[in-house]
């Protein structure tokens, strides 16, 4: 594994010393926002995590190497290169590494590389899930399978609201993935705090989150844990407005015949255009919010493990 996995010195030192580390994905840099806003956001997320006492580890594939922790120059490179960097899911890793290529990691591949490096907590915007119409298209994100297999706690603002949230929850239940609402009994819907669907459990503190994940690992149960953290009230969008934008974006997606891994970037971009950029502003704020909770949870997890 050492031939392919590069752990940044700052991250390696923190892990060796038992200090908290938070993984971050890179698809949001290359495919989620325009330059230079993508780079500014990525660097601000890392700053937030450091301010909360943890070490950030932005994850990507660069030159065929699985990178756990990027330099500011590497983050800038991903931001400038943008969508020319392949979006890398589990199926893409062998080819990208074998050919010495770059890759922007999704939730799936960020979880995989974080687990390889020994990082237990991961902050992102929203997970993928079961797409609308999946009963005929079979378009289901690999994120759900990874949550069932890989021992990483994922902290997000819920499944992206472009998805079929009910079927996404059913899929996660089938795979045995615990869905936790942070301070809520209702699944957040990314841009909004409510969805009409319930979560499995409500927990209210980072310490409770850390204890739940610690017990899961101690019991030897495989797979990760999903923490859904509602977007802050002041940045939550009006449900009718965002749902109307999503419906228009989904209709455009069908008309243009867009499918597979191009679906989510297209829908998020179209929603941003329809909402006049409001959705992008909300997206940025929910990522900051998740970074804060992830850092606090990683710190609590380290304290718990150090006490044993």
What would the two tokens of residue 125 be? 């915007």
Beta carbons of 297 and 25 less than 8 angstroms apart: no
**CA-closest candidate to residue 189, choices 241, 228, 139:** 228
Residue of 25, 46, 74, 146 marked catalytic: 25
Q: In whole angstroms, what is the distance from residue 183 CA to residue 172 CA?
A: 20
Q: Is 47 one of the annotated active-site residues of the chain?
A: no
Using a 10 angstrom Cβ sphere, with 0-12 exposed, 13-18 middle and 19 or more buried, the burial of residue 67 is buried
Residue of 87, 160, 261, 272 marked catalytic: 160
Q: Is 262 one of the annotated active-site residues of the chain?
A: no
DSSP 159: B
What would the two tokens of residue 11 be? 């991250």
Q: In whole angstroms, what is the distance from residue 27 CA to residue 33 CA?
A: 9
CA angle 157, 160, 163 (to 5 degrees): 145
Provide the annotated active-site residues: 25, 160
């Amino acid at each position: 594994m050492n031939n392919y996995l590069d752990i940044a010195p700052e991250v390696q030192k923190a892990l060796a010393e038992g200090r908290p580390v938070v993984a971050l994905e890179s698809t949001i840099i290359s495919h989620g926002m325009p330059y230079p806003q993508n780079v500014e956001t990525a660097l601000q997320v890392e700053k937030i995590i450091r301010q909360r006492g943890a070490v950030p580890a932005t994850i990507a594939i660069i030159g065929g190497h699985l990178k756990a922790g990027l330099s500011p120059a590497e983050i800038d490179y991903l931001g400038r290169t943008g969508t020319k960097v392949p979006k890398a899911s589990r199926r893409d890793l062998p080819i990208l590494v074998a050919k010495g290529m770059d890759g922007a990691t999704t939730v799936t591949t960020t979880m995989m590389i974080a687990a390889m490096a020994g990082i237990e907590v991961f902050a992102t915007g929203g997970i993928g899930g079961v797409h609308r119409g999946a009963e005929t298209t079979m378009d289901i994100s690999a994120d759900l399978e990874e949550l069932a297999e890989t021992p990483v706690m994922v902290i997000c603002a819920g499944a992206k609201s472009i998805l079929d949230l009910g079927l996404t929850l059913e899929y996660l239940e089938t795979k045995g993935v615990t869905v936790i609402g942070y301070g809520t009994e209702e699944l957040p819907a990314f841009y909004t705090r409510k969805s009409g669907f319930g979560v499995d459990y409500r927990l209210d503190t980072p310490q409770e989150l850390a204890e739940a994940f610690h017990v899961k690992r101690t019991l030897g149960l495989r797979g990760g844990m999903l923490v859904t953290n509602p977007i802050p009230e002041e940045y939550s969008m009006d449900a009718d407005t965002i749902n109307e934008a999503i419906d228009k974006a989904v209709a455009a997606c069908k008309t243009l015949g867009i499918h597979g891994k191009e679906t989510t970037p297209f829908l998020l971009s179209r929603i941003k255009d329809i909402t006049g950029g409001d959705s992008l502003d909300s997206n940025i704020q929910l990522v900051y919010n998740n970074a804060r909770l992830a850092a606090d949870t990683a710190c609590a997890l380290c304290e718990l493990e150090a006490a044993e």
